[in-house]
Amino acid sequence: MHAIEVKGLTKIYGKGHTEVVALADASLTVSPGELVAVIGPSGSGKTTMLTTIGLINEPTRGLVILDGITVVDGSWVPGLDLKRIRRERLGFIFQSYNLIPFLTAVENVIVALNLNGVRGKEARMRAVELLDKLFLGSRLKNYPTELSGGEAQRVAIARALANRPKVILADEPTAALDTDNGKNVMELLKKLAVEHNSAIMVVTHDSRMVEGFDRIFEVHDGRITHEPVRT
Amino acid sequence: MNLAVRDILRHRWRFIQTSVGLGLLIAVVMSMGGIYRGLIADATVALTSTGADLWIVQKDTEGPFAAASRLPEDAEYRIAAVPGIAQASGLSFQNMQVSRFGKPLRFFLVGYKLNGLGGPPVIVAGRGIRQQHYEMVVDKAMKIELGETLKLGLNHYTVVGITKGMASVAGDPFAYVTLANAQDIQFKTDNDAIRNSRARIAQKMSQVATLSPAQITQLTPLVTEIAVSTHMVNAVAATLAPGADLKEIQESIQRWNHYRAISTAEQEKILTSGMIQKSKMQLGLFRIILLTISAVIITLIIYTMTMEKTRVIATLKLIGSPNKVVAALILQQSLLIGLIAYVIGYVIVSATYDKFPRRVELVAFDLEALFAIVMIICVLSSLIGVRKALKVDASQALGG
Ligand SMILES: Nc1ncnc2c1ncn2[C@@H]1O[C@H](COP(=O)(O)OP(=O)(O)O)[C@@H](O)[C@H]1O
Ligand SMILES: [Mg+2]
C-alpha cells in the first residue's frame, strides 16, 4: 500500500477568460517512509499540488488515495470527515510557520496532540520530547514572536509530526530561512520523518535543499515534466 | 490547556479594559435592581415594623401612606371594641421638611401612643420615648445626634433615641414623636388663627335668625372647639386576636363603623403596585437599555477578536480542528468577558451600595437572575462571531 497515490490530479482555478490550469493531470505515488521532493519555479503549481493532496483545496478532477483511503475520486469523496483525516494522518509544514501566536512553543505542539485526544501530562511529555529532539528544549515557554525563523519552523515540524502521521506535506519549509538554517531544518525534518516512518513530500523552488531525498519530481506550468530523479 | 483563556491572557489589557467597561454597565444594572428592592423595602417598612394586621382609614381612601386619610382619634376605641381585635391604636403620619443650619431636612414624622402600636421597632442608640412631650426618636439617616434638638411646629424636641433603616416610600428617614405631639405639630393652629376662626363662626351664627345673641356667645367656643379639634389621626393600626377571621372583621368594620379596613397584605399591594409602579417601569426600562448596550458591546468585541484571529482559526482548521473546537473558542471568550464583567460589577456594587442616598437591597435571586441574563447575552452575542469563525476556510492559513 502506498502512503500517497495520485492519478490524473487536475486543478483549474476560475472559468472562461480567467481560467488557470494550476495543476494538470499529475500522477505519482509515494511509499511509506519515502522522502520525495517536488521542485519547480514560482507559479508552477507546487502549492496547488500539495493542498489538493492535503485535502485543503478541492481538485477539479483526479484520484487521490491517502494511507489506503480514497479521499478524492473526481472530487472530494462525500461523507468523509476531511478534518479528521487531516488531524490523524497528515502533517503540514508551511513557509510562514503558521504557529498560534498566543501559545508557547510547547503549547503549539500540545494543540495538535489535544486534537487527537492526547491530553494533560501525556501530551506535554510527548511535546517536550519531540521539541528536545529538534534542539528546542530551552525554548519551550517562548512565544512564536520570541523565536527565530529556524526555531519557529522547527516548532512547526514538531507540531506536524506530533501525531506520527503517515504523510507529511511541506510547502517551501525553508524559503524564509537562510541557507544554513534551511539546510539544518531540512536535515531535522528528514531525520524525524525516517524515525517516524512517515512519507514526506517537500515542495521547494530551491534545488540546493533537495539533497538526500529518495526521489525528486520537477513541475512546470502545472505538469510533472521530469520523471523522478534518483539521488 | 484552554485556547480561549490563552488568547485572552495574551491580550489581557484590552480584555480587562472591555471587562471593566462592561462591569460598570452591569454595576448600574445591578444597583437599579437593588434600588427597586430598596423602594419596596422603604414602601413596606412602616407596615411591617408596626406589626399591625389591619389598617383602619377614612372611608373610600387608600391611606394613610398612599393617600390622605383622617379620622377622629376616638375611632381607636370603637375599633378596639370590635370582636376579634386584640389591640388598636391611632397613628399619625406626616411628611415634613424643616430648615436646619440653612439646609432643608426632610423626614417622615410618625406619631404613636407610648403603649400602642407603630413606635420605633429597634433603637440602635439611646432609648425610646418615655415622656409624653417633646422627646423624639430619629432614624440614623437624618444624621442628628442624641441630645440635639429640633424645632417642629411651635416646640423644640430633644432626640433621645436613634433607629436604623427606617425610611418612607419617598426615601425620607423616619422620626417618631408621641401622638399627642404629632397632633400638635400637624393640626394645632396658633392663637391668632383660633381667634380668627372663632370670629368667623360667630359671624356665621349671627346670620341664623333663630339664635339669640346670648345663645351665640355660648355656642361659639363649643363649635370652635370641634372645628379646630386636634384629636385626629391618619389611621388606626390594629392587631387581631388569635384565631380571628381577617375578612370577617374587615367587613364588619366597613359595615358598622363606616371606615375602610385595609389588611397589611392589601396595604402592601397599594404601596408596591400603586406608588412605585412607575419607578419600577422606569428602572426596568433603563435596565433593558443598558443590557442591550452590553449585548452590542460584547457582540462587537467578540466579532473584532474573531476577525483578528482569522488566520489562527484557519490554521486550527488546517491541522484538523473540528468545528466545535473553533466554536467553543469564540463562545468561551464571550462567556469569560461576561463572567469577569459580572464579577467586576458585583464588586463595585458591593463596595458602594450602602453609600447610595437611597436604600439599595441586593437580593440573591436578583443577582442570580442577572447573572443568567448576562450569560445568555454572551451566548447570543457570540453567535455572529461563531458564524464568522465557522466560515473561515483552512486555505486562508496559507500564503502571507
Ligand atoms: N486561489 C487561486 N485562484 C486563482 N488562481 C490561483 C489560485 N492559487 C493559485 N493560482 C494560480 O495557480 C498557479 C499555480 O500556483 P501555485 O500552486 O501557488 O504555484 P507555486 O506554489 O508553484 O508557486 C499560479 O498561476 C497561480 O497564479
Ligand atoms: Mg507555492
pLDDT in tens, B147-167: 999 988 888 999 999 999 898
Q: Which of B7, B315, B332, B392 to mutate to test the interface with A (most CBs of A within 10 A)?
A: B315
Q: Tell me the pLDDT of chain B averaged across its residues.
A: 88
pLDDT at site B228: 65
The single residue listed with the C-alpha cell 479594559 is B17
Q: How confident is the model at residue B229 (pLDDT cuts 50, 70, 90)?
A: low
In a domain? residue A171: yes
pLDDT at A231 over 60: no
Distance CA A71, CA A135 (A): 36
Share of chain B above pLDDT 70, in %: 98
β-pairing, B103-112 vs B174-178, is parallel
In a domain? residue A24: no
Question: Residue with the nearest Cα to atom 20 of ligand 1?
Answer: A43
**Interface predicted TM-score (ipTM) of this complex, two decimals:** 0.94
Pocket test for ligand 1, best of A47, A206, A217 (most atoms within 8 A of CB): A47
Query: Domain span at residue A163?
Result: 32-44+81-226
Query: Per-residue pLDDT averaged across B229-254, rounded?
Result: 86
Which residue pairs, CB below 8 angstroms and at least 24 apart, start in B197-204? B197/B224, B197/B227, B197/B228, B198/B224, B201/B227
How many A/B residue pairs have CB atoms within 8 Å?
Answer: 69
pLDDT at B237 over 70: yes
Minimal C-alpha gap between B4 and chain A (Å):
10
Report the CATH number that the domain containing residue A219 is assigned in CATH.
3.40.50.300
Domain count for chain A, please give it.
1
Q: Supply the Cα-derived Rg of chain A in whole angstroms.
A: 17
Query: Per-residue pLDDT averaged across B7-29, rounded?
Result: 91
Distance CA A176, CA A148 (A): 11
In a domain? residue A1: no
Instruction: Name which residue leads in pLDDT, A53 or B245.
Output: A53
pLDDT at site B15: 87
Alpha-helical segments (H) within chain B: 3-10, 12-50, 75-80, 179-187, 191-205, 213-227, 246-257, 264-269, 277-308, 310-318, 323-352, 364-391
In a domain? residue A50: no
Task: Please write the tens of the pLDDT for every residue from B287-299.
Answer: 899 889 988 998 9
Residue B343: all three cell numbers together = 464579577
Per DSSP, the three-state class of B160 is: strand
For residue B319, the chain A residues in CB contact (below 8 A) are 86-87, 92, 111-112, 115, 159
Task: Please write the tens of the pLDDT for every residue from A178-206.
Answer: 988 899 889 998 888 888 899 999 999 88
pLDDT at site A229: 64
In a domain? residue A75: no
Residue B360's Cβ-side half-sphere holds a number of Cα atoms within 13 Å equal to 20
Q: How confident is the model at residue B203 (pLDDT cuts 50, 70, 90)?
A: confident
Task: Please write the tens of the pLDDT for every residue from A128-181.
Answer: 999 999 999 999 999 999 999 999 999 999 999 999 999 999 999 998 889 888
- Number of other CB atoms surrounding residue B5 within 10 Å: 14
Question: Residue with the nearest Cα to atom 16 of ligand 1?
Answer: A45
Distance CA B190, CA B195 (A): 9
Q: How confident is the model at residue B190 (pLDDT cuts 50, 70, 90)?
A: low
In a domain? residue A76: no
Minimal C-alpha gap between A214 and chain B (Å):
26
pLDDT at site A203: 93
In a domain? residue A39: yes
Residue A210's alpha-carbon distances to A93, A169, A171, A226, B336, in angstroms, are 16, 15, 13, 15, 48
pLDDT at site A142: 96
Q: Is B186 exposed, middle or buried, given 0-12, 13-18 or 19+ CB atoms closer than 10 A?
A: buried
pLDDT at A100 over 70: yes
Task: Please write the tens of the pLDDT for every residue from B263-282.
Answer: 888 888 888 887 788 888 88
| A222 alpha carbon – ligand 2 mean position (Å) | 12
Distance CA B294, CA B25 (A): 7
Q: Which residue of B has its CA nearest to A161?
A: B319
Task: Please write the tens of the pLDDT for every residue from B103-137.
Answer: 999 999 999 999 888 889 989 999 999 988 899 99
Nearest ligand to residue A26 Cα: 1
Residue B211's alpha-carbon distances to A73, B215, B217, B224, in angstroms, are 124, 6, 10, 17
Query: Taking a C-beta distance cutoff of 8 angstroms, is the pair B381, B334 a contact?
Result: yes
Q: Which residue of B has its CA nearest to A90?
A: B319
Query: Per-residue pLDDT averaged across B44-49, rounded?
Result: 84
